[in-house]
Structure formats: structure tokens, C-alpha cells
Structure 1
Amino acid sequence: MIVAALLTLTAAATLAWVLTPPPVLAGPRPVRARVPRAGAGTLEVARMIEQLATVISSGSSIRQAWGAIARSLPEGELTELARAAAAGADPRRGAPGRLRQTEVIGSLGAALTVCERTGAPTAGMLQSLADALRDLHDAAQARRSAFAGPRSTARILLVLPLAGLGLGILLGGDPLRLLLASPAGNLMGALGIALTGLGWWWMRRLIRRADPPSGQRVDPSVVLELIAGALESGLPLSRSVSAVAGALTAGPDAHALERLATSLEAGVPAAVATRELPAEFTALGESAVLAETAGADLAHVLRSAARDARRGRARHAEVRAAQLAVRLVLPTGLALLPAFVVLGIIPTVMSLLGGTFSLTTAGAVP
């Protein structure tokens, strides 16, 4: 009975997982017909930020601009955010529930904080942020498309053990009764469940490593845009980096940038000060050295590096998706195919041979 329950639960969970569509990453949300509510995906936030920049560029203060945005938007998360910001709240604290934890709101709050601390033009900073968020939205959509095939393949392969049972029944055998009614069948059922679970865990691990979920961290390319905006306000690199580090939520990125700002402020050469930066900020280190040695326009170089990083996301996603499709062969061959054989082929053959043997024996009895 325990094996029967486990088989039933495994079948139900696997079918539910296979039939459930993959989640939409940072895409627009559907709008209900009866109660219109503004979506709060990356693209919608980018549009709102661009509208905010337009209102500010016309001469309105930041609070007046937020108030105008709140009156122009339909009811929804973005309207609640705009009302809270118009009252003076930081967007990272004034955004409603789920929206508060997103990367886009963290980027918006950091941009406004940098403008407040450095005197950088708010309209220009927000327009650059809106363009960056649009690029990130396009990259996320391209990543989702690239991984749609491998994810669907993984879901389909997990049905193999159940398909083995169905195939046995279609062939005239009774594999399910054999799995439930005999000690050998119980052992094979437990082994098949274990192999199916191993295949599920293995595939999930491969997918998460190839396509990790996005967190609350401000994208490194947006950080480069913020540093470029601070530089355009007339600040040196050390103070620009320090202002951006202070605007970010406490974490590894903020700590690395603060350490870089301290080193530059102390007169350490850029080549030495940027040596321990995370790989995501390699462009910042290279640009800092270039500006120090050749007097290049550091803000322009940083913005170009940020755009290149965002444009490369789609190509990198395609490469990782292709690698994932190849790696999925391992859990298929070492876990799911053996589970298919153990749960479907062997019990079917045993049940068919058992029935044939019984008929032969009965015919031989006088």
C-alpha cells in the first residue's frame, strides 16, 4: 500500500509539473477586464520612469512629478508606489509588497539617491535608467525563449517512467498489479521512484545552474550607468563610486565599490585599486585605468560598457541553453531511462511471461 501511494503521488506530481507552463520572467502582466490594474513588470516600470523623467525635465520638482504620475496611472502597484513617493518615501520602502522586493525598484531607489547625493541631473539619470531597464527586459525575454526548449524537454522526459506503465498496460500486461502485489514488484517500484526522484533533482539542479533565478540585486550594468551619471555631475571617480556604493543596498557589490572608492581616495593607482573588483565590474576597472592613463571620457566609456553587457545577455543565454540541452542527456540516461525500464518494461515482461507460463501449465495438466 505504501508503494501504491508513492506511485500515485509521483504520477500526480509529475503530471502537474509537466502541464504547468513555465513562469514568465519580468514580462508584462495580464490586465483583468473588470477591474483594470496597472502591471508592474520591468517594461511597465521603465515606462513609468521615462514619464517621470519627462515631467521633471519640464521643470517640476520630484514630488510634483510623482504626484502627476500617480494621477495619470490606473489603479495598481505603480500608482501606490507613485503616491508613496509623492509623499516623500523612498521607492524601496514605499513600494507595495511584491514590487518592493524587485530589482527594478532597487535600481530606481538607488538612482534617485545618487542624484540627491551628487547633484546629478535627475531627468537624465532616470532616462538612462529607463533605457537600461528596457534592455534588461529584452534580455530576460531572450533568455526565457532560449531556455524554453530545454525546460520543456526536461518536463517531458520526467514522464518517461509513467509512460512505461502506460505502455505495459497497452501491450496487455498488468505491470501495476505486479508492482503492488509482490515483494519483487515492491522493490522495483521503490527503485523506480528513487530513480525518478534522482532524475528530477538532477535536472532541476542543471537548470538552476544554467539559468539561475534573478534576485533583488541591482544589475551591474545599471551600477555602471549610475557611476557614469555621477561622473557627469562633475565628481571625480572616487566620490562617484562612493556615492553609488552608499545608494545600494548593503551587500557584496556595495562593499566592493566602497573599498574601491577608499583606495582611489587614498591615491592608489587605478590598476591596483580595481584589481579585486568582482568579475561583473571588470569594465569599471578597465575604464578607470584607461581614463587615468589616457584621459578618456570615463562616463561615456562606462555607458558603452554597460550597453554591451546588456546586449550580450541574449547571446550568453543561447550558449548556456545549448550546453544545458547536452547536459540533460546524463540524468536521462542514468536515471530516467532506468526508471522507465524498472517501472514499465520489466514488470510488463514479467506479467506477460507469467500469464503465458500459467496458460501453458494449465494446458499441460490432464
Structure 2
Amino acid sequence: MIPVALCLLLLLLWVLSPPEATVPARRSGRRPARAPAGPLEMAGLVEQLSTVLSTGAGIRQAWAAMSRVLPEGDLRDLARSAAAGADPRRAAVARLRDSEMVSSLGVALAVCERTGAPTAGMLHHLAEALRDLHDAAQARRSAFAGPRSTARILLVLPLAGLGLGVLLGGDPLRLLVSSAAGRLLGIAGLALTALGWWWMHRLLTRADPPRRRRVDPSVMLELVSGALESGLPLARAVGAVGESLAPGAEATALRRLAAALEAGLPAPLASEHLPVELASLGSSAVLAETTGADLARVLRSAARDARRARARDAEVLAAQLAVRLVLPTGLALLPAFLALGIIPTVMSLLGGAVTLGGGAG
């Protein structure tokens, strides 16, 4: 039983081990370490690029200047390619090409090229947005760290029951495979464990779904605001952002809004079918149309509020998730713990005197 106990303990330690940190791995001393290319590093690159552009340099000159001062790494390679005239969205290495930060930078540059908006100002606001998004993502990870750790601990309860039985001197695993009563308990325990795992995974995914967008909706609002500040009407500003985005639901919605505004529809009607993520664009347009407010400032304020609300929303969802995890624990994992660990251990310690379904005494 010692090998079985060791296997169970190793499996338990593997499941309970913390997830890998999202930091670059250390390189060996034989190769120089490449600089990381995380959200903050990308925000710093965008900020510096904006600063160089504000001196009057062209975009390719600014990229060339950045390529000379950036440390060796993916961002330096990106700057070199962009200085040669490549689109950042295509020039980035594979692990950055579809990332939110590079996609946002590429769309911002494309909007400036289409509209003539000042690139330095647009990139300055984009750098602030990238930092805000990083802070919101960190706050979300922190909020969900507790419920996720709790879920991982609860998921190993059935395995812990088997290991506990072995450590107490019983032979629950042998009973589970060698008697009719044990096989029934094993089937019930495995079924309940699978149900508990599926249930918890579903709760975690619904509370904290993976992000699949390349450009955050708040960044889209920032880009529309930047185009408006260059003197464009709302229809052309929205259309430029929609044309610069990769094909998707948001790009289609923005192009439709631009077409409706070009056709002369009032903002309330034109923005009726915007997705929830862009609802603040429609409400801001209505506010500006009815009151004469500066739409660019209203949109930028709405974008900041949307990013700041991420942390508060994450805290609420994490608290709700912690409560909901009680259901799969009480209805699936604890019964599985009893069926796979406690009951077989008691039966094996009593030498088979307690049976279910006519097991041999």
C-alpha cells in the first residue's frame, strides 16, 4: 500500500500546486536574456513612441529611434520591422501578433492614417488605456485567486479520502476493486467526482470567461474620441475605427452605425443595435446630440469608467462564485469523498464485517 499512498500524495501535490506565474522564464547563462514583452512594457513603448512623434518626427523615424534604445527582445524586433514600413500587426512575432496590445497599437496607427488624427496624442491616450487594462486584469486575477484556489482544493477531496484511508491502515482501494459493494461505491464516487469537476469548471468559466477580443471596447471608444478631436464628424470617425478593426462583431456594428449616421438617422435610432460592449458609444452620442456636449470628452470619460469598473465587477463576481461553489461541494464532492474514502476505509478496517449488497464476511 506504500506505493499507492505515494502515488496519491504525488497526485494530490500536483493538483494543489499553484498555477504557473505569467512571468517570462529565466534563460540559461549561455544565451542573453531577452526583454519581456508584457502589457506594461508595451504601454511604455507606445508612450515613448508618442513622445518621439511629438517632436515632429515621422512615424518611421520614431520607430527607428525606438529600435536603437529598446533592449534586445520582441519589442525591439517589432520596432525594427515597423521602421522598415511593416504593419505592427503583421511584423510582431507569433506570440504577440494576435495579442490585445499589438492589435490595439496597429488599429490606432491605422485610424490615424485614415483620418489624419495626431498620432502622438492618439498613442498617448492608448498608452494610458493599456496601463488601465493591465491594472484591471491584475485586479481580476487577484479577485478570482481565492475562489479558484478553493475550487482546486475541493476537487481533490475524493483523492484525499483514498489517501487518508491508506494512511490510517485501511485498504480502501483493494475493497473498491475486489467486492461488489466496493465496485458500486467506486462507480458512485467516480460519477460524483466527475459531476463535481464539471460543475465547478462551469461555474468558474461563467464567472471568469476567457477573453477573445483583440481590441478592448474601451480602446475603441478612445480611438473614436481621438478621431473626433481631429475635427471629423462622428460618422467618419466611427467608420474609420470600424474599417481599421479586424473582421468581427464590433467592426460590423461600427460600420453599420457609421452608415446609419451618414444616412442622416438620429443617434438614438442609429445606435439601437449596438452590442452591449459598445452601448456607451450610443448613449454618449445621444447625450452629445441632445445637449451639445463635447462628444470626444464624453467618450474618453466613458472609456475610463468602463476600465475602472472591471475591478469592481470582478470583486462582485468572485464573491458570488465563492458562495456558488458550496453547491457542487455539498452535493457532489463530499458524497464522493465518503464513497471513495471514508466508507471503504471503515469497511476494510472492520475486515469486511460491514457489507453492502451481500459482500463476503
Give the TM-score, by structure 1 length: 0.90
Percent identity of the aligned residues?
68
- 1:17 is matched with 15
Q: In structure 2, what is the equivalent of residue 232 of structure 1?
A: 229
Task: State how far apart, in whole Å, the 1-side matches of 2:172 and 2:130 are.
Answer: 54
More divergent stretch after superposition (10-19 vs 243-252) = 10-19
- 2:96 is the counterpart of 1:99: yes
Is the contact between residue 31 and residue 39 of structure 1 (CA under 8 Å) also seen in structure 2? Answer: no
* In structure 1, distance between residues paired with 2:145 and 2:312: 15
CA distance in 1, matches of 2:72, 2:51: 21
Q: Secondary structure at the match of 2:273?
A: coil
Aligned positions of 1:310-349 closer than 5 A: 310-349=307-346
- In 2 relative to 1, CA 10–175 (structure 1 residues): closer, same or farther, beyond 3 Å? closer
- Measured after TM superposition, the shift of residue 183 of structure 1 is 3.1
- Is the 2:192–2:336 Cα contact (8 Å) retained in structure 1? yes
- Aligned match of 1:149: 146
Tell me which residue corresponds to 1:130: 127
Equivalences for 1:1-366 in 2 at 5 Å? 15-21=13-19, 24=22, 29=24, 32=27, 34=29, 35-354=32-351
Matched residues, number: 350
Deviation at 1:182, TM superposition (A): 2.1
| AA matched with 1:170 | L
Aligned-residue offset at 1:107: 0.5
Give 1:11 shift: 7.8
2-structure distance, mates of 1:53, 1:38:
21
Alpha-carbon deviation of 1:15?
4.3
Distance 1:220 1:108 in 2: 14
Aligned partner of 1:364 in structure 2 is none
Verify the 8 A CA contact 2:224 2:241 in the aligned structure 1. yes
1: CA distance between counterparts of 2:348 and 2:149? Answer: 33
Partner SS for 2:215: coil
Q: CA offsets, 1:338-363, max 9 Å, x none?
A: 11001011101111222678xxxxxx
Deviates more, 1:198-207 or 1:308-317: 198-207
- The Cα offsets for residues 166-224 of structure 1, whole Å up to 9 and x where unpaired, read as 22223332212211222332332233222222211211111111111122431010000
Q: Using a 3 Å threshold, how does the CA distance of structure 1 residues 131 and 31 change in structure 2: closer, same or farther?
A: farther
Q: Does structure 2 conserve the Cα–Cα contact (< 8 Å) formed by 1:38 and 1:74?
A: yes
8 A Cα contact 1:56 1:62, kept in partner: yes
Query: Moved runs in structure 1, 4+ residues, more than 4 A?
Result: 7-15, 30-33
Equivalent-residue separation in structure 2 for 1:337 and 1:260 (angstroms): 53
Change (3 A) 1:10 1:67: farther
Identify the range of structure 1 (66-75 vs 231-240) with the bigger mean alpha-carbon deviation: 66-75
The 1:154–1:305 alpha-carbon spacing in structure 2 relative to 1, beyond 3 Å, is same
Q: Is the Cα–Cα contact under 8 Å of residues 12 and 160 in structure 2 kept in the other structure? A: no
TM-score (norm 2): 0.92
**For structure 1, which runs of at least 5 residues remain unmatched after alignment?**
358-366
Q: Supply the AA of the counterpart residue of 2:175.
A: L
Kindly provide the amino acid, as one letter, of the partner of residue 287 in structure 2: L
The CA distance in 2 between the partners of 1:335 and 1:301, in whole Å, is 50
Q: After the TM superposition, which of the residue ranges 154-163 and 211-220 deviates more from structure 2?
A: 211-220
Q: How big is the shift at 1:313? A: 0.6
- Structure 2 segments unaligned to the other structure (5+ residues): 355-361
Report the RMSD for the aligned CA atoms in angstroms. 2.2
Letter in 2 for 1:253: E
Gap change, CA 1:13 and 1:352, over 3 Å in 2: closer
CA gap of 1:303–1:30, structure 2 versus 1, over 3 A, is farther
Which stretch shows the higher mean deviation, 319-328 or 190-199? 190-199
